[in-house]
């Protein structure tokens, strides 16, 4: 690890925890060492306001007098799935169909983490798109804020249009 306080270095690891209400969380490096502070402003510069616990992350960091801090998020990967549960709306769908659904630009209408769901508006369409917390987690996010820009893969579920994948708008721009 660099000794100079101004040196930055690349770190791969996973999100130990992140609390959007507090505005920060911590990353654990895959090579060990102290926890790395991840501030919400650094995450917002990447285009997200939250990140799921356990998500893989690559960041640029630097050491300060108060410890190691993330200064830039380079990439985020959703956490590894540890369960085999699937929402009923996806049970009969081929995963390839979901993966090849087009990305649609949207804004969060509202999302209630406690209730486990919310809605987004796709640009140019009048109906709301249902967003379930499990889809959010599997997409590597933990929470959404009203007005937040997203890219959604949308399916026609048993109860209407619903998000099958959620990407932060900036991440979707780089998802070629």
Q: Could you write out the DSSP letters of every residue in 102-149? A: PEEEEEEEEEETTTTEEEEEETT-SSEEEEEHHHHHHTT-S---TT-E
Contact at 8 Å (CB) between 28 and 14?
Answer: yes
- CATH code: domain of residue 151: 2.40.50.140
129 has which bridge partners? 120
Query: Quick check: pTM over 0.85?
Result: no
Query: Does residue 76 register a pLDDT over 50?
Result: yes
User: Is residue 147 a part of any domain in this protein?
Assistant: yes
Residue at a domain's end among 17, 48, 77: 77
Spatial separation of the C-alpha atoms in residues 163 and 66, rounded to whole Å: 40
User: Is residue 70 a part of any domain in this protein?
Assistant: yes
Residue at a domain's end among 77, 107, 133: 77
Q: Give 121-156 pLDDT, tens digit per residue.
A: 999 888 899 999 888 888 888 889 899 889 999 988
Q: Give 28-56 pLDDT, tens digit per residue.
A: 999 998 999 999 999 989 888 889 888 89
Mean pLDDT for the chain overall: 84
Query: Does residue 89 register a pLDDT over 70?
Result: no
Query: Does residue 158 register a pLDDT over 90?
Result: no
**74-83, 122-131, 156-165: range with highest mean pLDDT:** 122-131
């Amino acid at each position: 690890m660099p000794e100079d306080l101004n040196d930055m270095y690349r770190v791969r690891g996973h999100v130990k925890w992140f609390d959007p209400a507090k505005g920060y969380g911590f990353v654990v490096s895959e090579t060990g060492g102290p926890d790395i502070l991840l501030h919400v402003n650094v995450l917002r510069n990447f285009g997200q306001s939250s990140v799921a616990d356990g998500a893989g992350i690559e960041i640029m960091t630097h050491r300060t007098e108060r410890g190691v801090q993330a200064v830039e998020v380079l990439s985020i990967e959703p956490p590894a799935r540890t369960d085999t549960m699937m929402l009923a709306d996806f049970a009969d769908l081929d995963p390839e169909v979901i993966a090849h659904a087009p990305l649609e630009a949207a804004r969060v209408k509202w999302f209630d983490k406690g209730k486990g769901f919310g809605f987004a508006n796709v640009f140019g369409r009048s109906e709301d798109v249902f967003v379930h917390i499990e889809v959010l987690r599997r997409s590597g996010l933990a929470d959404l804020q009203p007005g937040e820009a997203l890219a959604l893969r949308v399916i026609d579920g048993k109860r209407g249009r619903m998000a099958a994948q959620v990407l932060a708008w900036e991440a979707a721009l780089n998802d070629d």
